[in-house]
A = this chain, B = another copy of it.
Amino acid sequence: MRTFKIVLGYDGTGFHGWQVQPGRRTVQGVLEEALAHVLGFDVRLKAAGRTDAGCHARGQVASFAADTPVPIAALRPALNRRLPRDVRVRSAEEAESGFDARRSAIARRYGYRLLDREDVLWGRMAWHPGRTPDAARLVQATRPLEGDHDCAAFQAAGSTPTRTHCRVHRATWRRWEGGVMLDVIANHFLYHMVRNLVGTALALAERTNPSEAMRAVLATRDRSRAGPTAPPQGLCLEEVFYSERVRT
């Protein structure tokens, strides 16, 4: 048995998210189909982040184990020949036995891009919230998130995850060409967490003291106190981090 690690990017606009769903075009679906063609048998992929419909990835990581003689250098070009244009494999390599793209990941980095104004060129991958975002106030609103927190206030409405504690390594905003983007790294993300953070940060940026308001929302652990969920197109899974020594 060999274990494989695949890094890929995709434009999520034309997909119903990562995860396989019957009768729907998903990234996992097209990638497993391409792998079946190349390997000659079916495999089931694990992914570091199960992105939603309309969300993008530049550094998604998927893994699988298989007994195959395929030369590792041939895998990336063979997959890219077979894949549609909106998914590209950036690298394919062999990993240590036991590597699991999801369980072995120690952190993930997401970006959420806001537009200063509507722009048809960036509209597939960024969102204009109806007014020009104030970067300085967004930074104030988001800074209290850095550190160890129970992030239950930012879970998806109606969901009841068993593990709402997150270690947020970075939660800041920086300029990109079309406006500002949230740049957030954490060991673990709850479902819809980044999009809920963006909606909340935009709402709290209007307050007198955005940092204090964010600390208050966090402390409630109550989803109903946070802001609305920002739409999917601004979100991109940028990078996944693994330790040198794979945890199994």
A interface list, Cβ under 8 A from B: 9-11, 56, 58, 85-88, 90, 118-121, 123-125, 176-177, 236
Contacts and interface: CB of A to CB of B under 8 A. Distances in A.
Number of copies: 2
Contacts of A88: 118-120
B236 A9 contact: no
B9 A120 contact: yes
A168 to B, nearest CB: 23
- List of 3 A-B pairs having minimum Cβ-Cβ separation, nearest first: A9-B120, A88-B120, A176-B177
A121 B58 contact: yes
Nearest to A176: B177
A167 B176 CA distance: 31
A121 B177 contact: no
A83 to B, nearest CB: 10
**Residue with the highest number of chain B CB atoms closer than 10 Å, among A85, A118, A177:** A177
A202 to B, nearest CB: 21
A120 B87 contact: yes
Contact of A10 (B9, B58, B120, B125): B120
Contacts of A236: 121
A114 to B, nearest CB: 14
Contacts of A119: 9, 58, 88
A121 B10 CA distance: 7
A108 B58 CA distance: 33
12 contacts: A9-B119, A9-B121, A10-B120, A11-B120, A11-B121, A11-B124, A56-B121, A85-B123, A87-B120, A88-B118, A121-B236, A124-B124
